[in-house]
Amino acid sequence: MADKGSIGYLPDETPSAGKLILFALQQVLVMFPATVTVALLTGFHVSTTIFASGLATLGFLLVTRGRIPLYYGSSFSYLAAIMGLTGAKYGVVAPDALISQAQFGIIMSGLVSIVAGLVVSRFGMDSIEKVLPATVTGSIALVIGITLAGTALTSAIGYSATTDTANNADWIIALVTLLATVGFSVYLKGFLGQLPILLGIVVGYILAIILGVVDFSQVFAGSFITVPHFTLPDFTAWPAVLAIMPIAIATIPESTAHLFQLDIYVKNLAREKGRDPNEYHIADKLGLNLVGDGLGDIIASMFGGPAGTNYGENISTMAITKNFSSRMLGLAAIIAIILSFISPLSNLINTVPASVINGACIFLFGVIAAQGVAIMIEKKVDMFSAKNLSVIAVIMIVGVGGNYACPYGIPFFGIKLPAIATAAIFGIVLNLILSIGGKKNPGNEELSSIAD
């Protein structure tokens, strides 16, 4: 079918060289805050984490042959387990021996994802949708977006819970960045309309410089080239395996939700461009996606990086900009690897204030939540069904409530369970129980009996 002239790039399309670099840089800026934050929280080395993120993304794109355009970044789902092993304090690097133990656990969790992917590929999507219907995946996407909201807002305004205050300069910078990003995404057309996040961050950054918030003193500190600090896994650390490996099972719904989000937006762009949407059955590649996720974990952890997953922030950016080019993500991964070696470049990105990045993330994280709604609309989830409402309600409250009330894990019989993973498992089990004896209809859609 002929291209109707709609602006955007499908997974198998490539922007021109200049545009490609700008699009890739935008993706790097979007993934940077969360990936670095995970390293700071877990005691892993920041430069190594950035390197591992880029290398794992290249591995993912290679194993999926570019058919699933996703960026691999450090996952928050593993925080409680890894922090329990490393005993990390924010910003303090953990001893190599403890990082090595965690690495072994992450590698084994990657094997779990690979096995799950092979099982999914063997039994097909119909079987998977019985376990992971839109009521589960859509709700998980909602929970992810909403639970990230607190981090985005408090980090954007420099809020301190101890003093119950916020920084006025941060407020101004965050609001300007947010409004600029939203304005650019809505009103800019053509090529510039595909760079709203990058342009919004540039506007916020310039304002931050004017207000004297940016500190350039450390940009050229240290040597120009710095090799990331690599550590080897400790293949005898079986307690670490028991602590980390099971979390891989709980993150499958999150990865599935991301894939369904991507599928909806890629197919919509294909229709706009006059292409056959059936060329891009991304949702049917869940098994391949899980294999790629697992491979990403293994690659990242072999060098000393934390566990990861495909990033909702990058998916939101692709959805907003209609740019799903796999080569663009590959270049973003290469840029991340280069940044991990070149200290001034990495240090320069670190000068971007939290108020700027998180001002844009207020928008991005909201889009992640909105994509959860889009999944349920696309799959025609019946919101009058008592079963569907029960599953959605439980996932929302356990996920959102657990995250805000118990940020380091929900206490459960002496252990702490990650909120999003717990919500996902609870929702899956509840959905399966409530499906016993239920009516089955085409398309895996639940029709309400109210209309009868």
Q: Which residue has the higher pLDDT, 194 or 331?
A: 331
**pLDDT at residue 441, as a whole number:** 45
Classified as helix, coil or strand, 412 is strand
C-alpha–C-alpha distance, residues 395 and 425, integer Å: 9
Q: Which amino acid is at 316?
A: S
Question: Looking at the domain assignment, is residue 447 inside a domain?
Answer: no
C-alpha–C-alpha distance, residues 268 and 281, integer Å: 12
Helices 252-272 and 312-321: crossing angle in degrees, nearest 10, is: 10
Quick: pLDDT tens for 1-28.
455 556 889 999 999 999 999 999 999 9
C-alpha–C-alpha distance, residues 215 and 211, integer Å: 11
Alpha helix segments (H runs only) across 92-237: 96-131, 134-157, 168-187, 196-210
C-alpha–C-alpha distance, residues 36 and 32, integer Å: 6
Quick: pLDDT tens for 315-351.
888 988 889 999 999 999 999 999 999 888 777 877 8
Per-residue pLDDT for 440 more than 60?
A: no
**pLDDT at residue 443, as a whole number:** 39
Which of 233, 260, 257, 295 is CA-nearest to residue 98?
233
pLDDT confidence tier of residue 80, bands split at 50, 70 and 90: low
Q: Which residue has the higher pLDDT, 293 or 130?
A: 293
Question: Looking at the domain assignment, is residue 427 inside a domain?
Answer: yes
- The encoded tokens of residue 81 equal 């387990």
Question: Looking at the domain assignment, is residue 12 inside a domain?
Answer: no
C-alpha–C-alpha distance, residues 186 and 180, integer Å: 10
Per-residue pLDDT for 450 more than 50?
A: no
Q: Which residue has the higher pLDDT, 419 or 302?
A: 302
Which of 373, 419, 444, 358 is CA-nearest to residue 78?
419
C-alpha–C-alpha distance, residues 25 and 180, integer Å: 18
- Evaluate the CA torsion angle 32, 38, 42, 48 in order and state its sign: negative
pLDDT confidence tier of residue 296, bands split at 50, 70 and 90: very high
**pLDDT at residue 452, as a whole number:** 38
DSSP bridge partners of 73: 309
Average pLDDT, rounded, for the chain: 84
Helices 196-210 and 168-187: crossing angle in degrees, nearest 10, is: 150
pTM (predicted TM-score): 0.72
**pLDDT at residue 341, as a whole number:** 93
C-alpha–C-alpha distance, residues 417 and 411, integer Å: 7
**Domain count along the chain:** 1
Per-residue pLDDT for 445 more than 70?
A: no
**pLDDT at residue 3, as a whole number:** 54
CB 121, CB 252: distance < 8 Å = no
Per-residue pLDDT for 90 more than 90?
A: no
Classified as helix, coil or strand, 309 is strand
> Dihedrals φ, ψ of 35, to 5°?
-65, -45
pLDDT confidence tier of residue 97, bands split at 50, 70 and 90: very high
**pLDDT at residue 439, as a whole number:** 58
Quick: pLDDT tens for 27-58.
998 888 778 878 877 889 889 999 999 999 99
Burial class (CB in 10 A: 0-12, 13-18, 19+), 414: exposed
Angle CA 380–373–366, to nearest 5: 170
Q: Residue range 264-282: average pLDDT?
A: 88
Quick: pLDDT tens for 361-398.
888 778 878 878 887 887 889 999 999 999 999 999 99
C-alpha–C-alpha distance, residues 232 and 107, integer Å: 11
Greatest distance between any 2 Cα atoms in the chain: 73
Question: Looking at the domain assignment, is residue 367 inside a domain?
Answer: yes
> Range of 144's domain?
17-436
> Dihedrals φ, ψ of 257, to 5°?
-60, -45
Q: Residue range 256-280: average pLDDT?
A: 87
pLDDT above 70 coverage of the chain, percent: 91
Angle CA 95–98–104, to nearest 5: 140
Question: Looking at the domain assignment, is residue 450 inside a domain?
Answer: no
Quick: pLDDT tens for 207-261.
999 999 998 888 888 788 889 999 999 999 988 887 788 677 667 777 877 888 8
Classified as helix, coil or strand, 9 is strand
Quick: pLDDT tens for 140-172.
878 878 887 887 788 888 887 667 777 899 999
Question: Looking at the domain assignment, is residue 149 inside a domain?
Answer: yes
Per-residue pLDDT for 187 more than 70?
A: yes
CA distances from 302 to 207, 378, 397 (A): 40, 39, 36
pLDDT confidence tier of residue 360, bands split at 50, 70 and 90: confident
Question: What is the Cβ-side half-sphere exposure of residue 353, based on CA atoms within 13 angstroms?
Answer: 28
Classified as helix, coil or strand, 342 is strand
